[in-house]
Amino acid sequence: MKDNVSPAKVGITREGDSLVFTLDHPQAGNEITAAMFEDMLHSLRAEAASPTARVLRIRAEGEVFCRGRERAGRDAAAIRTEVARLIALKQAVRETSMISVAEVQGDAAGFGIGLAVLCDFTLVAEHATLSFPEMRKGLPPAAIMAYLGQYALPKHIFPLILLAEDFTPARAREIGLITEVCSRDTLRIQADRLVERILAMDPEGTRQCKNYFVAAQAQSLESNFRHATDLLTVQTLRLQADHL
Residue range 121-149, pLDDT digits in tens: 999 999 999 999 999 999 899 999 999 98
Q: Is residue 1 part of a domain?
A: no
Whether 208 and 192 map to the same domain: the answer is: no
Residue range 14-29, pLDDT digits in tens: 999 999 999 999 999 9
Range of the domain at 213: 203-242
| Distance from C-alpha of 231 to C-alpha of 225, rounded to nearest angstrom | 10
Contacts of 105 (CB under 8 A, 6+ apart): 59, 60, 63, 65, 125, 128, 184, 187
3-state secondary structure 154-175: HHHHHHHHHHCCCECHHHHHHH
For residue 140, the domain's CATH number is 3.90.226.10
Whether 99 and 40 map to the same domain: the answer is: yes
For the chain, give me the number of helices (H) and strands (E)? 9, 8
- Number of Cβ within 10 Å of residue 163's Cβ equals 10
Least confident of 62-71, 77-86, 103-112, 155-164: 77-86
Phi, psi of 127, rounded to the nearest 5 degrees: -85, -10
Q: Is residue 4 part of a domain?
A: no
Whether 178 and 236 map to the same domain: the answer is: no
Helix 111-118 and helix 76-95: axis angle, to 10°? 30
Whether 134 and 176 map to the same domain: the answer is: yes
Model confidence at 4: pLDDT above 70: no
Confidence of residue 198 (pLDDT cuts 50, 70, 90): very high
Number of domains into which the chain is organized: 2
Whether 208 and 179 map to the same domain: the answer is: no
How distant is the alpha carbon of residue 61 from its chain centre?
16
